[in-house]
Structure 1
Amino acid sequence: MNKDKKRSVNFSAKEEGILISLIKKYRSVIECKLTDSINTTEKSNCWKRIETEFNAINCEIFRSQKVLHKKYDNIKKRAKKKFAEEECYMRTTGGGPPMDVKWTETENSIKEILGSRMEGFPSEFDYDCSNYVIDTSGAENGNMSHSRLSGVESKIDESECSKDFLTK
């Protein structure tokens, strides 16, 4: 282990807020998934601008672009892990009290920045009763079909849907 390397002071909540606000400002560049040389150079320049702006706003401790980038990655990992744990808990079977999750302002901002990469896309192949009509008339022959409802204004109560499906 390198003995010359010193650990810096932890980020305060104020510093995290400043970093997230700057990330929001440069979100289109920072969160771009392209990895060609032009985009890599643009990202590097963007992190240099973030470093300059961050240190201009926050005069307490100098933070390098490497430290700011690592902090942002750690905040993203923490928020994704918390969201994944919440989703996993919601999908488990059994009773019990609901999970009490309190999202911080920073985590809410990360959810906003990442969007669908954090929450995922809704499945177009999900057979929720409120979106589909299930035809069970040919069930005795093994011919069940479904069709997507279009232009339906009212939602079907899911408890009624399950009851109707089971009784046919």
Structure 2
Amino acid sequence: MEEQKRFLNFNKDEIDLLVSLVEKYSSILECKKSDSVEWKRKNELETYKRGGGQPTPIKIDQNDLKVKSIIGVGVTGLPNPFDSDGPLIPLRSENDIEIIVDCNDEQIADLLNKSNNLEKTVNNNDENEQIQWDKWSPEDLKKPKSEQLQTNESRKKNSIITTSKRKSSRSTQLTNDCRTKINLVSQAKLELIKLQTKCLQEEHQIKLKEYQIKAKNVEELHKLEIEEKKIQIEILKKKLESI
């Protein structure tokens, strides 16, 4: 067999046309591979690419504004001051908060007089009191501090301890109440289970009795049918003998 001649993929006219097209669109054409990997990569870029040019304006009518006012924050969302894209909202610190108190001159004078009277009474009490060191013992160190020696922090600690004790007593009461309730519920469940088992046993006995009665009836019917067939056979025998 003669070998077939292989034709050219592109003739001269097609080559000239291809070169002219490449020359025309050379600003946007690139020499890249066109295998499956490149096509997959191009498709990924095509799906996630951003549109070029100016954005098309969106028309907003009165219905859109009404819906936005109804939904409220769900449309725009709350401003996040900790986000890099969030608006620059200045956060107010505690020092910036102004405390406004309405006071008259008479009220200020009354407060000053009361404070001076308290200081005088405290000083007089301190002068009148005399500490008796003869009755002192090391066991007195275990006693709680007097109110004069206590600070705000120590008072807070003492109040926290008392509240914790109250909470612990309340928690123990709650646990005891819960335990009693759980015991009552468990007892009720046990009684219910006992009643259910009793009912099931009674139903089982009733079904057994019904089954036994049905079995007896079936046996009796079977016996009657056998006797009837025997009588029929005897009648047929007598007829045959008479013939």
- The two structures have a TM-score, normalised by structure 2, of 0.15
Q: Which has the higher helix share?
A: 2
- The two structures have a TM-score, normalised by structure 1, of 0.21
Q: Which has the higher strand share?
A: 1
Q: Of the two structures, which has the highest relative contact order with CA contacts closer than 8 Å and spacing of 6 or more? A: 1
